[in-house]
Structure 1
Amino acid sequence: MVAFKGVWTQAFWKAVSGELVATLIFVFLGLGSTISWGTTDNSQPMDLVQISLCFGLGIATMVHCFGHISGAHINPAVTLALLCTRNITLAKALFYIFAQCLGAILGAGLLYTITPPNLIGNLGVTMINERLSIGHGLLTEIIITFQLVFTVCSSCDPKIKDKYPALAIGISVVIGHLFAINYTGASMNPARSLGPAVIIWKWDNHWIYWIGPIIGAICASAAYNYIYCPDTEFKQHLREALQKAKQKTKGKYLEVDDIRSHDDNDDLILKTGTIHVIDIDQRDEKKGKDSASEILSTV
């Protein structure tokens, strides 16, 4: 239940609603660029540059607008990657993913409502090129999501100065689309694929657009945080806490209290604990006290 601490706060729900609105706008604008306005006699070919720029500039704009409110994940794969590297709480991750999926469905539904029926087509549903196998499509989604999330981790790293996350992430999305639209439709985002799939009920190989981005995102986040730019201070604190938790003295045990801070964004950050000594011989004298104060916490 510690993971759900702080759920009923105004800041938490502002962040969740921010993810919903940001994803709604992003999907609405991005899918709108895939609509062909040509007639039956004069059909317009799909403009890869237009679609890539719309998705890329759209995500850059949403990151700039909502980054300080919710972190502007706008992508369940990004949220899961941050959860695996302990940069976001479990409660926030669950609510974020729900908000992102709901926002994507609402965005696709709004576009479907305002678009003439004869122009809707596939509504931007992501599909694997018929010349590719399912395995090739899965690998494509893994790679393009890897480069996106690695860019997110790098551009948002607090240790790096002179960073422009909105611009960097937007360019990453543009590059992914320019390369992969003809391969898989360039999802990189399970919510982006879920929205139009629900509205027009088209689920061809839809699982690829969940498994691929999630694998790519987790691998990218793990590679950045634990291989290329590891947080040595966190590792040292964790090592010291584990050593203190294992220490014993004659007739006494060392208690380590895990103190966690709760900032405005509702993220829980592991900090070093304070040490209290409990004398087992005096336990009879403490029966009247709250038993919770004598529980040996673990790290």
Structure 2
Amino acid sequence: MQGLPSARTRPGPFSLSARKFCQGCLPRCTRECIMTAFKGVWTKAFWRAVSGEFLATLIFVLLSLGSTINWSAGEEKPPPADLVLISLCFGLSIATMVQCFSHISGAHINPAVTAAMLCTRKLSLAKAIFYLAAQCLGAIAGAGILYLVTPASVRGSLGVTMVNSNISVGHALLVELLITFELVFTVFATCDPKRGDLKGSAALAIGFAVSIGHLFAIPYTGASMNPARSFGPAVVTWTWGDHWVYWVGPVLGGITAAAMYEYLYCPDPELKKRFCGGGVLSKRPFPAERYQEVGRDQLDGDPDELVIKPGSLSTLDVEKAEKRSLSPI
């Protein structure tokens, strides 16, 4: 009797089968989740989008920083920088790039926009990482080309963003947060697929938002609004004074703007219905909803975004499937 396990410790048939099922299912589920997360990395569309972010950021930084070059620097009394010229060049450059690359990569051209898209689940983590790397490399390449083609006598600081000595670093951080908030809120508002009242050019509206931010903030911080735009010339000239401000401020401002737009001012009605209309908050622990499987043929374009087409989906009744799996054979 000592060799026999007690009734309390003896494993029943259900516990053995459940243990075997979990041991065989969990590793497979983990592998499938990892493969699904990075599935889009090995597609042509993914690398086309990443290369588009690199090229768009390169052109944007090259053209925009070129407007900061003071060609009268060699004169006895050089005129001050033309803030209107710089602001319009930055705004029109970003508007042009958005118009050219929005259908290729989404035309983020800004790590703050990419972070906002990631936090609102509009972008996968893998694509966000590659976008960030492409934007930083594109900014370095654009600033490097400008450095090579500009004479040393008029090169100056090459448009490096610096905090005004008359304000504190905390005030500079707040200014960068506010102007990036304004930009990212404009991006989400003008690119919202739920709106049916949009007219005109979304790219031009985004360009105006960039110009407005520059007209206001150039005297304060140089008006970065874009960590990559500050990172490129900082690497080329190796100038890192208060550089962290131009990462923390824009990223916080972008995430705050995206969260407020998506979850406070213009929430998705389907998401609200699912969370408040009897789905997650329903009394039943497992709602009797029909779940849909998405097949390979239902992927349109980017594998990161699943487009569900009605009429070609197979449905599974979860409760019936659970009853069948628990019923004795």
Give the shorter-chain TM-score range.
Answer: 0.7 to 0.9
For 1:31-46, list aligned pairs within 5 A.
31-38=65-72, 39-46=74-81
For 1:24-63, list aligned pairs within 5 A.
24-38=58-72, 39-63=74-98
1:205-244 Cα shifts (integer Å, max 9, x gaps): 0000000000100000001000110001123345666469
Assess if the C-alpha contact under 8 Å between 1:244 and 1:256 holds in 2. no
Tell me if 1:79 matches 2:114: yes
Task: Find the aligned partners of 1:248 and 1:229 in 2 and give their Cα distance.
Answer: 27
TM-score between the two structures when normalised by the length of structure 2: 0.79
Assess if the C-alpha contact under 8 Å between 2:299 and 2:307 holds in 1. no
Task: Find the aligned partners of 1:91 and 1:104 in 2 and give their Cα distance.
Answer: 20
For 1:1-299, list aligned pairs within 5 A.
1=34, 2-38=36-72, 39-160=74-195, 161-237=198-274, 242=280, 246-247=285-286, 259=294, 262-269=299-306, 274-276=316-318, 277-278=321-322, 279-281=324-326
Task: Find the aligned partners of 1:33 and 1:227 in 2 and give their Cα distance.
Answer: 38
Deviates most, 9-18 or 36-45: 36-45
- Aligned Cα root-mean-square deviation (Å): 2.5
Identity of aligned residues (%): 57
Task: Find the aligned partners of 1:3 and 1:86 in 2 and give their Cα distance.
Answer: 13
Secondary structure in 1 matching 2:87: helix
1:223 and 1:199, CA in 2 relative to 1: closer, same or farther beyond 3 A? same
1:248 and 1:141, CA in 2 relative to 1: closer, same or farther beyond 3 A? closer
Larger radius of gyration: 2
Identify unmatched segments of 5+ residues in structure 2.
1-33
Secondary structure in 2 matching 1:87: coil
Query: By how many angstroms is 1:264 displaced?
Result: 1.3
Identify unmatched segments of 5+ residues in structure 1.
286-299
Secondary structure in 2 matching 1:183: helix
Task: Find the aligned partners of 2:182 and 2:162 in 1 and give their Cα distance.
Answer: 20
Task: Find the aligned partners of 2:299 and 2:137 in 1 and give their Cα distance.
Answer: 27
1:262 and 1:92, CA in 2 relative to 1: closer, same or farther beyond 3 A? farther
| Amino acid aligned to 1:8 | W
Query: By how many angstroms is 1:7 displaced?
Result: 1.2
Task: Find the aligned partners of 2:317 and 2:121 in 1 and give their Cα distance.
Answer: 24
TM-score between the two structures when normalised by the length of structure 1: 0.86
Query: By how many angstroms is 1:118 displaced?
Result: 1.5
Q: For this pair of structures, how many residues does the alignment match?
A: 280
Task: Find the aligned partners of 2:126 and 2:284 in 1 and give their Cα distance.
Answer: 27
1:248 and 1:219, CA in 2 relative to 1: closer, same or farther beyond 3 A? closer
Query: By how many angstroms is 1:96 displaced?
Result: 0.6
1:268 and 1:275, CA in 2 relative to 1: closer, same or farther beyond 3 A? farther
